[in-house]
């Protein structure tokens, strides 16, 4: 999917919501545990109930890898279900990969070719030759960790090196990479006060913004300082939506929470 197609979807649905599919078998409704593939059944029910309210889904691969081969199969079935039934929805593998060049190429093949995700999250720490193999894939997007939502972000990312904060150096340097038009960035919703500075460096890039909901980030603040002329935001909520209820009504409860966020987004887009 191109960024223009993503922007068109945002305008059509009046939503820039990304729903995180972080499936924890201890949190899903008990009746699903009797099915052959509880992870996929949970995801399918959530997707069926919420796809009209969001423009993206983001499974975090940790929640699948933790269940071994069954988890990976459920991830594969989930992305196939999305690509077959909702090709207009942007898909993000939140895998936070990145390694020496030939290894990065294999990671890119895994997520872009085998699983056919639209995008994958990447850690920038190993630099240019670890990121460019992902950028080489046409119409696929590399979402670089810039300023993360957790408190540990202050350990390194905001530290000044040669007079400039590390996260700013990540933004500036990554713009010089080959095929940098395929870059997006992760910026945490809990860091709303940093968005103005970030937009000075990357005015038009898409930002994936986790941290609204369970982590306490504020949607209005993020939009006030982080929205670009073309919206340029994907606001993620995972636990705040998918675990709205652990009873039989879980999918409808998730849809209600997604709807509440989508309505706030619609108001912001109409302002
Ligand atoms: O800076 C980051 C980068 C990634 N994440 C991931 O996003 C979701 C957030 O889940 P919630 O339940 O809405 O808090 C999760 O997969 C994180 O690993 C992040 O939170 N912050």
- Give residue 213's pLDDT: 85
Residues with a catalytic annotation lie at 96
The sign of the dihedral angle between the CA atoms of 21, 97, 141, 112 is: negative
Are the CB atoms for 167 and 176 separated by under 8 Å?
Answer: no
Q: Which atom of ligand 1 is nearest to the CA of 147?
A: 1
- DSSP letter assigned to residue 51: T
Mutating to test ligand 1, I would choose from 17, 18, 19, 22 the residue with most ligand atoms within 8 A of its C-beta, which is 22
Q: State pLDDT tens for residues 235-245.
A: 999 999 999 99
> How many CB atoms within 10 Å of residue 51?
19
Residue 214: what pLDDT? 87
103-139: per-residue pLDDT in tens? 999 999 999 999 999 999 999 999 999 999 999 999 9
Is a pLDDT exceeding 90 seen at residue 258? yes
- Looking at the chain, list the stretches that DSSP marks H as alpha helix, in order from N- to C-terminal side: 3-13, 38-50, 62-65, 68-85, 101-108, 128-135, 153-156, 166-174, 195-201, 219-226, 239-242, 250-270
Angle at 108 between CA 188 and CA 5, to 5 degrees: 65
Percent of the chain with pLDDT over 90: 99
- Which pLDDT tens digit goes with each residue over 74-94? 999 999 999 999 999 999 999
Distance 60 CA to ligand 1 centre (A): 8
CA of residue 146 to ligand 1 center, whole Å: 13
Query: How far, in Å, is the centroid of ligand 1 from the Cα of 211?
Result: 6
In tens, the pLDDT along 173-227 reads 999 999 999 999 999 999 999 999 999 999 999 999 999 988 999 999 999 999 9
* Pocket, ligand 1, Cβ cutoff 6 A: 20, 22, 60, 94, 148-150, 186, 188, 210-211, 213-215, 236-240
Task: Report pLDDT digits (tens) over 142-174.
Answer: 999 999 999 999 999 999 999 999 999 999 999
Q: pTM of whole model > 0.95?
A: yes
* Structure confidence by residue, pLDDT tens digits, 15-28: 999 999 999 999 99
User: Cα-atom radius of gyration of the chain, to the nearest Å?
Assistant: 18
| Residue with CA at minimum distance from ligand 1 atom 5 | 210
Does residue 54 sit in helix, strand or coil? Answer: coil
Full set of structural domains in the chain with CATH: 3-269 (3.20.20.70)
């Amino acid at each position: 999917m191109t960024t223009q197609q993503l922007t068109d979807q945002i305008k059509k649905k009046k939503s820039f919501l990304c729903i995180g599919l972080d499936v924890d078998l201890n949190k899903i409704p008990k009746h699903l545990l009797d099915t052959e593939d509880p992870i996929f059944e949970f995801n399918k029910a959530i997707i069926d109930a919420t796809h009209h309210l969001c423009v993206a889904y983001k499974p975090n691969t940790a929640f699948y890898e933790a269940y071994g081969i069954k988890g990976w199969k459920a991830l594969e079935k989930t992305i196939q279900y999305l690509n077959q039934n909702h090709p207009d929805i942007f898909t993000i593998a939140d895998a936070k990969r990145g390694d020496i060049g030939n290894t990065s190429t294999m990671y890119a093949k895994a997520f872009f070719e085998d699983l056919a995700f639209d995008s994958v999250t990447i850690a920038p720490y190993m630099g240019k030759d670890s990121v460019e193999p992902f950028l080489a894939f046409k119409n696929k997007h590399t979402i670089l960790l810039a300023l993360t939502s957790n408190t540990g972000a202050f350990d390194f990312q905001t530290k000044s090196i040669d007079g400039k904060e590390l996260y700013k150096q990540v933004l500036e340097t990554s713009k010089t990479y080959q095929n940098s038009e395929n870059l997006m960035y992760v910026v945490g919703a809990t860091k709303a006060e940093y968005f103005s500075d970030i937009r000075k460096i990357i005015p038009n890039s898409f930002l994936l913004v986790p941290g609204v909901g369970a982590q306490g980030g504020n949607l209005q603040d993020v939009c006030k300082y982080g929205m670009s002329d073309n919206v340029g935001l994907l606001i993620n909520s995972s636990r705040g939506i998918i675990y709205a209820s652990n009873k039989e009504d879980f999918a409808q409860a998730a849809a209600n929470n997604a709807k509440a966020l989508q309505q706030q987004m619609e108001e912001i887009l109409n302002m």
